[in-house]
Amino acid sequence: MFDRRKFIRSSAMISLAPVVPSFLAGLAQATESARGDERILVVIQLDGGNDGINTVVPLADEGYKQHRRELRLPDSELIKITSDFALNSNLRSVGQLWEQDRLSIVHGVGYPNPNRSHFESMKFWHVGSNQQEQVEQGNGWIGDSFGTRPVRLGAPHAVNVGDESMPLSLHGRRCIVTSISNPADMRLRASTVDLSERDQSSNATGLNQFVNKVVTQAYTSSRQISELTTQDSSAGYPASRLANRLKLISGMIKSDLGAQVYYTLQPGYDTHAGQLATHGDLLGELSSSLKAFMDDLRQAGLEDQVLVLCFSEFGRRVAENDSLGTDHGTAGPVFLAGTRLAQRSYGVMPSLTDLDDGDLKFHVDFRHIYASLLTDWLGLRLPTWLEGYRLDNLLA
């Protein structure tokens, strides 16, 4: 286990190491607060477009039977939650979190004029805007909100966990992000050249400045993270890729790395064909991994400091296609996990009979959720384009 004392020791080493450039060394002056009530957001991107209808199932809706003939989940494969909706039975552990007031569902989340392209819709979700001009600016809803806020001893603002490229959400002019999938990958074999004399803010062109910055940051965080080992916990993580990623995140949170946002994704939700089995497996992986993660944090006494957001770029069409799958649709549910949430469900289930060209009508604009997570939860400054949005009553 990478314990706190060891972390401080290695942090001190980092601040003295020649490789640390001035812009990071300056951060060492930022007060090293004792582990306090710093809040952390963990984002899980359900990649590919999750079929919300078979995730949070609208029991009472006539349209469910009508549109889902082959893909309709029988009662035996549902966990009834309220008279309105049930959970896919693969979400058993999520159901337990719900029972224990550690999980909320936001129903029917989407945005106006939905785009059914994975890339376009994901960009909107990453930026927090459905305006093309805003998307082209290239800053993400999380990345942009880290203004000049000091972070602890050269810690990154955010960590992208996994081998996928960094999501647009984390792009920001000042945002320092590290990407890791395995702490061992971060170990530098040979000593690299001292880059400390390089002027990070020089008049060098954009691309030169960029490579200077990212390479220097990478070598710095290499020293930090390669020492981190994941603790064997008794929380019972399943053997899966998502579980491993969450376990790594838990390790970083427990060792007080200092990042406020951890981002990871679970791929595979683009279920155009043979959906039932694939989708069930994905939800099962999500559910058991998420529960293990929350239990792990609970045992470490850290659960109150962490909130998890699970979202997908769109839901799927209400009517199934003829390949036992579903094509790209619109609105879907968002899961939030944590102990500080005020309500267990937000918004109302979208109707499966009152449709917009065969697609669900959204009720909650995802930007409301973003804005409340940034301000009410993380205490950050809102990106200008999210001003005016707020999900009422997010926190208890």
Partner 1 sequence: MSNHWKIYQPSTSLPWNVNRVRHLHRRAGLGVTLEELDRDLAAGPVISIDRVLQGTSRSQFTRDNFEEMSQVLAEAATRSDDEVRLKAWWIFRLLWTPDPLLERLTLMWHNHFATSNAKVGNLQLLLRQNQLFRQFARDKFQRLLQAVLLDPAMLIWLDSNSNRQGHPNENLARELMELFTLGVGNYSEQDVKQAAQALTGWSVKDSQARFRTEHFDSADKTVLNVTQSFDSATLADHLLNQPATAQRLAWRLCDTFMGEGVVSQPAIRELAEVLAASQLDIGRAVETILKSELFFSEANISSRISSPVEFVVGNLRSLELLDRPPSTMVLARWCSLLGQDLFRPPNVGGWAGGRDWLNARTIVGRANFAAALVAGELHTPIETPDLKQFCNRLTNSKSVPAKSGSLKNLLGRHLLSTPLPVEQEALLSDQPSELIGQLLSLPEACLC
**Smallest distance, partner 1 to C-beta of residue 210, A:** 6
Q: Which is nearer to partner 1, 72 or 116 (CB)?
A: 116
Judged by CB under 8 A, the residue of 29, 33, 208, 353 near partner 1 is 208
| Cα distance between residue 365 and residue 373, in whole Å | 14
The residues with which 311 forms a beta bridge, in sequence order, are: 45
CB of 329 to partner 1, least distance (A): 11
Q: Of 250, 291, 249, 289, nearest to 266 (Cα)?
A: 289
Q: What residues contact 20, with CB distance under 8 A and at least 6 apart? A: 14, 154, 196, 220
- Binding to partner 1, residues 333-372 (CB under 8 A): 357
Q: In terms of CB distance, is 96 or 182 closer to partner 1?
A: 182
222 binds partner 1 (CB under 8 A): yes
Q: Are strands 158-161 and 261-266 parallel, antiparallel or unpaired?
A: parallel
Going from the C-alpha of 199 to that of each of 101, 204, 213, 214, the distances in angstroms are: 50, 9, 10, 13
Please, what is the minimum distance in Å from the beta carbon of residue 248 to partner 1? 12
Cα pseudo-dihedral 11, 12, 16, 22, rounded to 10: 60
Least separation in angstroms between residue 32's CB and partner 1 is: 22
Measured over the CA atoms of residue 89, residue 65, residue 103 and residue 165, the dihedral's sign is positive
Residue nearer to partner 1 on the CB measure, 112 or 206: 206
Residue 331, CB-side half-sphere exposure with 13 Å CA sphere: 28
Q: Are 362 and 114 in contact (CB under 8 A)?
A: yes
Near partner 1 in 126-185, by CB under 8 A: 160, 163-166, 177-181, 185
Is the CB of 177 or the CB of 292 nearer to partner 1? Answer: 177
Answer yes or no whether residue 324 interacts with partner 1 by CB under 8 A: yes
What is the closest distance, in whole angstroms, from the C-beta atom of residue 11 to partner 1 in the complex?
A: 17
Minimum separation from the CB atom of position 214 to partner 1 (A): 5
Scanning 27-35, 147-155, 207-215, 250-258 for contacts with partner 1 by CB under 8 A, the matching segment is 207-215
For residue 362, give the nearest of 329, 319, 331, 333 by alpha carbon. 331
- Nearer to partner 1 (CB atom), residue 104 or residue 260: 260
- Binding status of residue 120 toward partner 1 by CB under 8 A: yes
Determine the interface stretch with partner 1 among 23-31, 101-109, 284-292, 321-329 (rule: CB under 8 A): 321-329
Is the CB of 27 or the CB of 394 nearer to partner 1? 27
Alpha carbon separation from 99 to 103, 104, 143 (Å, rounded): 8, 10, 34
Q: How far is the CB of 322 from partner 1 (least distance, A)?
A: 3
Q: Interface with partner 1 by CB under 8 A: which range of 9-17, 191-199, 375-383, 386-394?
A: 191-199
Whichever of 253 and 374 has its CB closer to partner 1, that residue is 253
In sequence order, what are the residues at sequence separation of 6 or more whose Cβ sits closer than 8 angstroms to the Cβ of residue 346?
Answer: 104, 105, 106, 107, 364, 391, 393
DSSP 210-228: HHHHHHHHHHHHHHHHTT-
Return the number of the residue (48 or 52) whose C-beta is nearest partner 1: 48
| Cα–Cα distance for residue pair 147/177, rounded to 1 Å | 13
| CA nearest neighbour of 269 among 103, 65, 53 | 53
Q: Give the footprint of partner 1 on this chain (CB under 8 A).
A: 47, 116-120, 160, 163-166, 177-181, 185-190, 192-195, 197-198, 206-208, 210-212, 214-219, 221-222, 225, 267, 272-273, 321-325, 327-328, 357
